[in-house]
């Protein structure tokens, strides 16, 4: 592996190699819960699991390019310490288990590039989410690629190249948590943390056949940012199973003393073992206003319709409905662009930013202040309008496609203007972002594949603080559909 931006504490940053030949697939890596069980039973060691993850990452990097930085030396030292603690009888939920986090997440000793080009010094402290993962015993093996400032549903850029989908390397795994999704789908790590400001966990989960949870705002701290992207962005897990995603959510959840949002705790892992009961589920095909007139691709519609039929067969009442989204997009744009402007303004070399980022920075600067405050003030009314689907109409869950299209080809967004990028992105991904405006939870579940073998997903969306219901329903679907049995060619 070639070196770039080496750090004495943690080893080299990860760069893609030119050779993209596929490597033979090793035996599947155990999932998160299974890894924890094997360690607790002394069936394996943390050093073995971490070394295996690092070897898989190295082998897949020329093909998938999922990681920006590895912590090889530090992770192996932490694994050795975890083995000593396990041998002494200590037990924690993730003690000795390897996991990855996204490039927007502070890990002490590594720079936080957030998909950007240029030099950044290593940060000196972990983010609150990483601190909690470590407190649960997890070993952070590295940081996964993200597009620049998390803006787009693809993970490509001049700083690191293109991250590729393990189901078909000609296609994107999505974004902005595309590196985390590719790493988990390919079996490089058992699970990974992503972040979701407009679908950035759910979209790559849909396009890589994973479970991706966007939790309630504040469920997982975004500290050192107190209100990331004007309250749009939350951290959430990506995993191959509901139980693994729930376990990672339980480990990462919790507030920092400075956090603005503090929802009451949930027990996600308990919910994954619970019968959801008989639910009323609204199926919505029409996306919010996107100015594109886009609806779901026929193959996406077919897959989500089949999943709705499965829910009905499992005893739920499923019927089509139309949420009253109103003009929610007019409040999303100021918040999103103001958030980009806040992050972009911190970049030490603005000339290295993508021209589309600089365009968003200008827009966000114009729409900041009074306009963004007015946009945020409308959230209470949006809760009432859209929440009427649950409160007045009596539905428990909203089901929609996660995306309108299967994963695009690598390079689809190259050389597009800022406007054309936004329009193309809105046409492909019109369904996810309203729940970021509301701050409410949602889960992507695998919905199947196109005829050419590309994964697509469906969203289970709920009202405020409804993660446990959504997780229980997702687990029931998983028991029936057993989507975790399907693995990509690179795994």
Flag whether pLDDT at 9 surpasses 80. no
How much is the pLDDT for 176?
A: 98
pLDDT band at 490 (very low <50, low <70, confident <90, very high): confident
pLDDT band at 491 (very low <50, low <70, confident <90, very high): confident
Length reported for the chain: 491
Q: Is residue 126 within 8 Å of 108, Cβ to Cβ?
A: yes
Residue of 186, 234, 201 whose CA lies nearest to 58: 186
Using CA atoms, how far residue 348 sits from 245, 351, 353, in Å, is 35, 9, 10
> What DSSP letter does each residue of 136-188 carry, written as one string?
TT-EEEEEE---GGG-SSS-EETTTEE--BTTBTTB---SSSHHHHHHHHTTS
Q: HSE-up of 288 (CA within 13 Å, CB side)?
A: 22
Cis peptide bond prior to 224, omega within 30° of 0 = yes
Positions annotated as catalytic residues are: 102, 176, 200
* DSSP β-bridge partners for residue 166: none
Q: Locate tokens 């500290």: which residue?
A: 223
Q: Cβ atoms within 10 A of the Cβ of 91, count?
A: 11
Cα separation, 151 vs 148, in Å, equals 6
How much is the pLDDT for 13?
A: 52
Q: Is residue 192 within 8 Å of 107, Cβ to Cβ?
A: no
Cα separation, 390 vs 49, in Å, equals 44
Cα separation, 112 vs 102, in Å, equals 9
Residue 197: both structure tokens together: 């400001």
Residue 208: both structure tokens together: 């890589």
Cα separation, 153 vs 175, in Å, equals 4
pLDDT band at 27 (very low <50, low <70, confident <90, very high): confident
Cα separation, 367 vs 347, in Å, equals 20
* DSSP β-bridge partners for residue 211: 239
Cα separation, 311 vs 397, in Å, equals 11
Residue 399: both structure tokens together: 């089901």
Residue 263: both structure tokens together: 């929802």
For the stretch 354-392, pLDDT in tens is 999 999 999 999 999 999 999 999 999 999 999 999 999
Residue 79: both structure tokens together: 């694994």
Residue 38: both structure tokens together: 């094997």
Residue 428: both structure tokens together: 């492909």
Flag whether pLDDT at 324 surpasses 60. yes
For the stretch 71-106, pLDDT in tens is 999 999 999 999 999 999 999 999 999 999 999 999
Flag whether pLDDT at 17 surpasses 60. no
Cα separation, 213 vs 221, in Å, equals 14
Cα separation, 135 vs 378, in Å, equals 38
Cα separation, 119 vs 409, in Å, equals 29
Cα separation, 441 vs 457, in Å, equals 16
Give the three-class secondary structure for 353.
coil
366-369 long-range CB contacts below 8 Å, 24 or more apart?
367/333, 367/334, 367/337, 367/338, 368/334, 368/338, 368/341
Flag whether pLDDT at 116 surpasses 90. yes
Residue 149: both structure tokens together: 């400032």
Q: Locate tokens 């073992």: which residue?
A: 273
Sign of the Cα pseudo-torsion (104, 106, 110, 111, in order): positive
Q: Cβ atoms within 10 A of the Cβ of 26, count?
A: 13
Q: What is the mean pLDDT of the chain?
A: 94
Residue of 329, 181, 192 whose CA lies nearest to 248: 192
* DSSP β-bridge partners for residue 238: 192, 212
pLDDT band at 108 (very low <50, low <70, confident <90, very high): very high
Q: What's the pTM?
A: 0.95
For the stretch 241-279, pLDDT in tens is 999 999 999 999 999 999 999 999 999 999 999 999 999
Flag whether pLDDT at 289 surpasses 90. no
Q: Cβ atoms within 10 A of the Cβ of 54, count?
A: 23
How much is the pLDDT for 18?
A: 38
């Amino acid at each position: 592996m070639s070196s770039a931006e080496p750090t004495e504490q943690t080893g080299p940053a990860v760069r893609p190699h030119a050779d993209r030949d596929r490597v033979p697939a090793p035996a599947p890596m155990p999932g998160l819960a299974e890894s924890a069980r094997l360690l607790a039973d002394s069936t394996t060691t943390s050093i073995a699991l971490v070394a295996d993850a690092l070897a898989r990452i190295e082998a897949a990097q020329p093909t998938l390019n999922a990681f920006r930085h590895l912590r090889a030396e530090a992770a192996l030292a932490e694994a050795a310490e975890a083995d000593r603690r396990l041998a002494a009888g200590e037990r924690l939920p993730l003690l000795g288990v390897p996991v990855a986090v996204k490039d927007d997440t502070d890990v002490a000793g590594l720079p936080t590039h957030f998909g950007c080009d240029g030099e950044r010094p290593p940060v000196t402290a972990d983010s609150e989410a990483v601190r909690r993962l470590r407190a649960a015993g997890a070993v952070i093996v590295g940081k996964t690629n993200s597009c620049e400032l998390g803006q787009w549903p693809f993970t490509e850029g001049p700083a690191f190249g293109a991250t590729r989908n393990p189901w078909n390397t000609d296609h994107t795994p999505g974004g902005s948590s595309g590196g985390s999704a590719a790493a988990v789908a390919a079996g490089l790590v058992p699970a990974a943390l992503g972040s979701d400001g407009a679908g950035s966990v759910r979209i790559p989960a849909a396009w890589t056949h994973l479970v991706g949870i966007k939790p309630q705002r504040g469920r997982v701290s975004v500290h050192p940012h107190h209100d990331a992207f004007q309250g749009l962005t939350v951290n959430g897990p990506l995993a191959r199973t509901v139980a693994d995603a729930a376990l990672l959510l339980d480990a990462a959840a919790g507030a920092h003393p400075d956090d603005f949002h503090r929802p009451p705790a949930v027990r996600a892992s308990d919910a994954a073992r619970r019968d959801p009961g008989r639910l009323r589920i609204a199926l919505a095909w029409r996306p919010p206003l996107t100015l594109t007139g886009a609806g779901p691709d026929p193959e996406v519609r077919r897959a989500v319709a089949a999943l709705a039929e499965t829910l009905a067969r499992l005893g739920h009442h499923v019927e089509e409905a139309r949420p009253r989204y109103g003009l929610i997009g007019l409040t999303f744009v100021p918040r999103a662009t103001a958030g980009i402007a806040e992050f972009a303004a911190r970049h030490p070399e603005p000339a290295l930013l993508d021209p589309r980022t600089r365009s968003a920075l200008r827009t966000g600067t114009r729409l900041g202040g009074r306009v963004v405050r007015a946009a945020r003030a409308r959230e209470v009314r949006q809760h009432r309008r859209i929440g009427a689907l649950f409160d007045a109409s009596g539905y428990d869950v909203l089901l929609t496609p996660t995306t309108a299209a299967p994963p695009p080809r690598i390079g689809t967004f190259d050389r597009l203007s800022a406007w054309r990028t936004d329009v193309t992105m809105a046409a492909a991904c019109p369904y996810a972002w309203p729940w970021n405006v509301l701050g409410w939870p949602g889960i992507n579940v695998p919905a199947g594949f196109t005829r050419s073998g590309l994964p697509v997903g469906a969203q289970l969306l709920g009202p405020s603080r409804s993660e446990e219901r959504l997780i229980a329903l997702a687990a029931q679907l998983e028991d029936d559909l057993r989507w975790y049995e399907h693995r990509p060619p690179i795994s």
